[in-house]
Amino acid sequence: MAINFDSNNFILGVIGAGAMGRGIAQVAIAGGLKVKLFDVNAAQSKEAVKFIGKMLDRAAEKGQMTECDAKTANARIQIIDTTQDLADCQIVIEAATENPEIKTKIYQDLEETLAEDAIIATNTSSLSITTLASPLEHPERFVGMHFFNPVPLMRLVEVIDGVRSDTSAGDTLMELGRRMTREPVRCQDAPGFLVNQVGRGYNIEAAHIYSEQVADIPDLDRILSEAAGFRMGPFTLLDLTGLDVTHPATELIYKQFYGEARFRPNVMLRARMEAGMLGRKSGRGFYDYSSGKQAFPKEATYPSYDGRPVWISKSETEGHEALTETISKIGGHLETGDFPSSDALILVTPVGEDVTTTTVAQGLDPKRTLGVDTLVGLATRRTIMTNPATDLSYRETAHGLLTADGVKATVIRDCPGFVCQRIISTICNIGCQIAQFGTAEPEDIDKAVVLGLNYPNGPLTFGDKLGPKNILKILEACQRIYGDPRYRPSPWLRRRAELGLSLFDKEI
């Protein structure tokens, strides 16, 4: 069906006037479209229109639109009392409560009311588009249109084709998304669609690392925000979203993927959710919020460098070069021989492996050996890793040395892939598997993640920056050390890494 969005006759229907429905209606009218808004709870619709009016006034005050535009936009929204009033809508977006029975009943009503070629879109965040479409008489007109909260601030919208959706219906919704001043990306129906699937890689991997006592919560947050450039550390983010929202979503995606190890939820997160430590909303999560603000502890002061000689393993050429340059600039007492002298601090620069494996493989003295992540954060926040035999005085030497130039550094316990290598590789691997399944085009995967999750890079760009060969090496090491299929590399990644290609390269 060809829809003329410029026609005065075009009216968008929005069902549900809650957090999402009102945001969808707001961006639609701000984009110049007429909207009919329906909610079973009439008071909710009234409240939504009032709220939208306030938002538009505020936008006018901030100079984001003229006062006149704000008023005319507001006049384009109409509250309706029954779904029958949607009969003249060519597209209806359903943003009602996340309950399949409620949604199915709404679609039945819509099929009786709307013209046969009208499009029905759902804003569901967790239900399968294909499953929701299956009872419909015309499943080909049913498509997912997944906005993000808060809609006016989040420009991304995922347009999701179910198995029986007509391509032209999705094409029309892509255009509608642009008309609503959003950035639409197209994907095929899959658990978690794009953004919620990739989002599992960050928080959950961080939770697995924490569960292994690699580092405490604030240190993990510091490393991921300062070394890897994430806007928020994973635990600060979990507290903001609330475990009652994040954890059930993870469990559902894991179940929908038939127990795919890459999405395996974390037991500690479930326990904390059941204990009511949900995050900001309950006053206590990974941090305390009883004062109204996050109580983020101050970092302990760093030890001073004691001048001990330092020897860097040459087994990773790039890591050796990067760390040699850093320590030379710091003014550390560098040894250049093939073996460390008897009391030298020994530094290794593993890619993927833990310090124990590296130390044993190279026949080094474990008491004096620590690892440094030279792939991520060497200039911003360094990650230093001990092994179970590391002597405390060598830990202090390494910490003092690697902070002597004013760059911050965190010492963690032994862990394959440190923190950033492992988490970035996990995110990249999920992105690669989405590309391998053809759920979305590589460019759209990255665009969705950057816009929807605010990550500093999309999964494939992360991979290209660190190097696909490195990502493959990190995942293989994690898989070998843990014996866990969670880390098995996607064939999309393996093939491109082995052929020396970019992760964006498509096969003919």
Ligand X SMILES: NC(=O)c1ccc[n+]([C@@H]2O[C@H](COP(=O)([O-])OP(=O)(O)OC[C@H]3O[C@@H](n4cnc5c(N)ncnc54)[C@H](O)[C@@H]3O)[C@@H](O)[C@H]2O)c1
Which of 84, 69, 105 has its CA nearest to residue 38? Answer: 84
- In the list 42, 50, 75, 102, the residue contacting ligand X (rule: CB under 6 A) is 102
How far is 432 from 468, CA to CA, in rounded Å? Answer: 11
- In the list 21, 265, 366, 442, the residue contacting ligand X (rule: CB under 6 A) is 21
Size of site (CB under 6 A) for ligand X: 24
In whole angstroms, the minimum distance from the beta carbon of 92 to ligand X comes to 11
How far is 217 from 235, CA to CA, in rounded Å? Answer: 7
Which of 298, 291, 288, 292 has its CA nearest to residue 239? Answer: 288
SS3 state at 500: coil
Active site residue 125: yes
How far is 206 from 436, CA to CA, in rounded Å? Answer: 25
Binding segment toward ligand X, per CB under 6 A, in 19-27, 57-65, 164-172, 473-481: 19-27
**Distance separating the N- and C-terminal Cα atoms of the chain:** 31
In whole angstroms, the minimum distance from the beta carbon of 15 to ligand X comes to 5
In whole angstroms, the minimum distance from the beta carbon of 447 to ligand X comes to 18
Exactly one of 165, 196, 203, 490 is catalytic; which is it?
196
* CB closer to ligand X out of 15 and 370: 15
Contact call for residue 391 and ligand X (CB under 6 A) = no
In whole angstroms, the minimum distance from the beta carbon of 169 to ligand X comes to 19
Q: What is the DSSP secondary structure assignment for residue 284, as one 8-state letter?
A: B
In whole angstroms, the minimum distance from the beta carbon of 22 to ligand X comes to 8
Exactly one of 45, 94, 128, 158 is catalytic; which is it?
158
In whole angstroms, the minimum distance from the beta carbon of 196 to ligand X comes to 9
- In the list 106, 194, 243, 398, the residue contacting ligand X (rule: CB under 6 A) is 106
Question: Under the phi-then-psi rule, with left for phi > 0, alpha for psi from -120 to 50, and beta for the rest, what region is 338?
Answer: alpha
Active site residue 8: no
The sign one gets for the Cα dihedral 454, 460, 462, 464 is negative
* CB closer to ligand X out of 42 and 275: 42
For residues 29-88, which are near ligand X according to CB under 6 A? 38-41, 44
Question: Regarding beta strands 156-161 and 91-94, do their DSSP bridges make them parallel or antiparallel, or are they unpaired?
Answer: unpaired
* CB closer to ligand X out of 78 and 168: 78
Contact call for residue 334 and ligand X (CB under 6 A) = no
Q: What is the DSSP secondary structure assignment for residue 55, as one 8-state letter?
A: H
- C-beta of residue 199 within 8 angstroms of C-beta of residue 453: yes
CA 3 to mean position of chain CA atoms:
34
In whole angstroms, the minimum distance from the beta carbon of 16 to ligand X comes to 3
Which of 442, 426, 443, 415 has its CA nearest to residue 490? Answer: 426
Contact call for residue 156 and ligand X (CB under 6 A) = no
- As a dihedral over the C-alpha atoms of residue 96, residue 100, residue 102, residue 103, rounded to 10 degrees, the angle is 60
CA 75 to mean position of chain CA atoms:
37
- In the list 66, 82, 84, 97, the residue contacting ligand X (rule: CB under 6 A) is 97
Max alpha carbon distance in the chain (Å)?
85
Contact call for residue 15 and ligand X (CB under 6 A) = yes
Contact call for residue 154 and ligand X (CB under 6 A) = no
- In the list 3, 20, 49, 59, the residue contacting ligand X (rule: CB under 6 A) is 20
In whole angstroms, the minimum distance from the beta carbon of 454 to ligand X comes to 15
Active site residue 313: no
Exactly one of 146, 208, 247, 399 is catalytic; which is it?
146
Mutual angle of helices 459-466 and 468-482, in 10-degree steps: 100
Contact call for residue 158 and ligand X (CB under 6 A) = no
| Cβ-based neighbours of 47, under 8 Å, separated by 6 or more | 17
In whole angstroms, the minimum distance from the beta carbon of 241 to ligand X comes to 9
- Residue 117, token pair as written in the block: 């070629």
* CB closer to ligand X out of 155 and 413: 155
How far is 23 from 31, CA to CA, in rounded Å? Answer: 12
CA 337 to mean position of chain CA atoms:
44
In whole angstroms, the minimum distance from the beta carbon of 292 to ligand X comes to 23
- In the list 69, 85, 88, 98, the residue contacting ligand X (rule: CB under 6 A) is 98
**Site mask for ligand X (CB under 6 A), range 355-384, x = bound:** ------------------------------
- In the list 13, 14, 16, 445, the residue contacting ligand X (rule: CB under 6 A) is 16
- Nearest residue to ligand X, scored by beta-carbon proximity: 18
* Residue type at 504 in one-letter notation: F
Active site residue 126: no
How far is 279 from 237, CA to CA, in rounded Å? Answer: 9
- Residue 421, token pair as written in the block: 């290598």
- C-beta of residue 92 within 8 angstroms of C-beta of residue 121: yes
Binding segment toward ligand X, per CB under 6 A, in 16-24, 137-145, 407-415, 458-466: 16-24
For residues 217-256, which are near ligand X according to CB under 6 A? none
* CB closer to ligand X out of 6 and 101: 101
Exactly one of 125, 203, 470, 490 is catalytic; which is it?
125
* Residue type at 443 in one-letter notation: E
* CB closer to ligand X out of 145 and 277: 145
How far is 357 from 476, CA to CA, in rounded Å? Answer: 13
* CB closer to ligand X out of 183 and 288: 183
How far is 323 from 384, CA to CA, in rounded Å? Answer: 12
Contact call for residue 448 and ligand X (CB under 6 A) = no
Binding footprint of ligand X on the chain (CB under 6 A):
15-21, 38-41, 44, 95-98, 102, 106, 123-125, 147-149
Active-site amino acid positions: 125, 146, 158, 196
